[in-house]
Amino acid sequence: MSLVRSCLLLVVMMCLTAPFGTAQQAAPVRPGETAQEILAVVNGHKITLLDFEQLIQQYRPEHQEEWSERNKGQVLRDLITLELLSQEATRQRLEQGPEVQSQIRLRTKDVLARSVVQKYIAERVNVTEDAIQKQYEATKDAYRVGEQIAASHILVRTESEAQAVLKELKQGKDFAAIAKARSIDNSAADGGSLGTFGRGEMIAAFEAVAFTLKVGEVSSPVHTEFGYHIIKVTNRIAPRVKPLENVRDEVREALIEQSVDAYINDLRRNAQVEITRPEYSFDESKGEKRK
């Protein structure tokens, strides 16, 4: 399910320093405050607390509290900027242009579409624990993870440097210590640790050797476009299915999406839709344009 991207906030998004996301729900109003409390008046036009909270909801969730509590002035400044630009656009009668009219229509439909979906979820979607368990059991393959390894490496520029590193390792010197001292990769600060990864995540030549190593085994020099790698595997994780407790939110979201898709499909079935240009026709069963 995809909805039209917001249009009217694009200008503000370019000047804001806070990252933006997608509005998730109606903005909350703090206890003791009212939604229509006036925060500023710009050339006679009011900016309310609800306007403030709605703008905060456009930020990514991890930044919402920070900006609503510690950067109130900056958020209000951005709202004032939006108001001033909007007023100037109206003064120039830009809203009468067909492109702007189209954007306004799309933005209005976007807001209404999000609102009706949120209302549908709040009032009619009840995802039970039993439903989550059944969905998980029916779709376990979606949560299957292939073999993974944890590895570290020491990256140097030349083969002779790589051979010198191998010699030091054979003499019993610590892998992490050598990585910190000699590796030219960003992972040097972490002792060369690359974390855990699966197949297809690393450059092919590196991966081809790494997945053949046993835990604790160190490779011969491996040449890639970045230089010469000495690889050490520190752990191997067998293929597995992620347990339900690790994917519960994903399963719940999948069930909500299924319910919303059914709701939208029901609206489609009961609607009268006429497509006037054949090349814009699409296959409803696939939800995509026909080729």
Domains of the chain: 10-124 (no CATH), 128-143+245-260 (no CATH), 147-238 (3.10.50.40)
What pLDDT is attached to residue 28? Answer: 52
Pair of tokens at residue 218: 């160190």
Distance of CA 168 to the CA centre of its chain: 43
As to burial, measured by CB atoms within 10 angstroms (0-12 exposed, 13-18 middle, 19+ buried), residue 106 is: middle
What's the order of all strands across the beta sheet hosting 193-198?
193-198, 148-156, 227-237, 222-224
Contact 159, 183 (CB under 8 A): no
pTM > 0.75: yes or no: no
Regions in the chain scoring below 70 on pLDDT? 1-33, 66-68, 285-291
Could you give the CA distance from residue 224 to residue 55 in angstroms, rounded to a whole number?
Answer: 47
Beta-strand relationship, 144-145 and 240-241:
antiparallel
* CB proximity list for 81: less than 8 A, separation 6 or greater: 12, 15
How many C-alpha atoms does 133 have within 13 Å on its Cβ side? 3
What pLDDT is attached to residue 30? Answer: 55
> Which residue in 3, 264, 261, 271 sits closest to 114, CA to CA?
3
What pLDDT is attached to residue 33? Answer: 59
Q: Go through 47-67 and write b for each residue having 16 or more CB atoms within 10 A of its CB, e for each that does not.
A: bbbbbbbbbbbbbeeeebeeb
What pLDDT is attached to residue 65? Answer: 73
